[in-house]
Amino acid sequence: MKKIIIAIDGFSSCGKSTMAKELAHEIGYIYIDSGAMYRAVTLYCIQTDILKEETIDIQRLREAIGTLKVCFHFNRETDHPDVWLNDVNVEDKIRTMEVSAHVSKIAAFDFVRTAMVAQQQAMGRDKGLVMDGRDIGTVVFPHAELKIFVTASPEVRARRRYDELTAKGATVSLEEILTNIKERDYADQHRPVSPLRQADDAILLDNTHLTTAQQLEWLKEQYQQAIQ
């Protein structure tokens, strides 16, 4: 059967990775979370003091970026790929508040993006790939056969994130989450390099009123149409 590239972009906390992961699993494609790569680079900066007390040593980061090995290995227990940094599995270390607080600054450097985009494009050489992120349909795979741009109201996204965090036992404020989501939306859309925007040929999915099961059904229909 014809193999394609599926690019899923959109705002943060929209459920992109959930739908991308589930689709890839169902159709036997590789799933790549491109945000995890920027998170791994951020973790490296923290571990090596390139990022210290809110200051980034740009020169050291520039020198290091070409030597960093960020890749994915399939985890049989979770049935999904884990991100590895320089031969160490860092999947559990990249979702901390510390990494989340700094990743958008690291992801905004053009030389960081150039290095990550080159690795992402190499992963798509054989197609059969679902990748989610912010610039997948616009910059990484502008010729992807299927492009989806996901959005939902900030209030609904904040509520989903709040439910997710409180279910894990975290004490968080809904208001604080909503403010953070709005700030990240603005930062993602207004950065000078590869800002978040819907590709002209992307299909818009507003999942404000959809359940995860409904959106997966919708996505599978788009995939069936794309491979015909």
The residues of the shown chain that bind ligand DC, judged by CB under 6 A, are: 12, 34-35, 38-39, 103-104, 107, 133-136, 188
Query: What is the nearest approach in angstroms of ligand DC to the Cβ of residue 133?
Result: 3
Query: What is the nearest approach in angstroms of ligand DC to the Cβ of residue 12?
Result: 5
| CA–CA distance, 158 with 164 (Å, rounded to integer) | 10
Query: What is the nearest approach in angstroms of ligand DC to the Cβ of residue 2?
Result: 25
Q: What are phi and psi of 168, to 5 degrees?
A: -85, 0
Tell me how far CA of residue 115 lies from CA of 94, 100, 140, in angstroms.
19, 20, 11
| CA–CA distance, 158 with 155 (Å, rounded to integer) | 5
Helices H / strands E in the chain, number of each: 8, 10
- Please identify, using beta-carbon distances, which residue of 78 and 224 lies nearer to ligand DC: 78
- Please identify, using beta-carbon distances, which residue of 201 and 217 lies nearer to ligand DC: 201
Q: Would you list the DSSP string of 168-214?
A: TT----HHHHHHHHHHHHHHHHH-SSS-----TTPEEEE-TT--HHH
- Please identify, using beta-carbon distances, which residue of 110 and 221 lies nearer to ligand DC: 110
- Please identify, using beta-carbon distances, which residue of 1 and 162 lies nearer to ligand DC: 162
Query: What is the nearest approach in angstroms of ligand DC to the Cβ of residue 103?
Result: 4
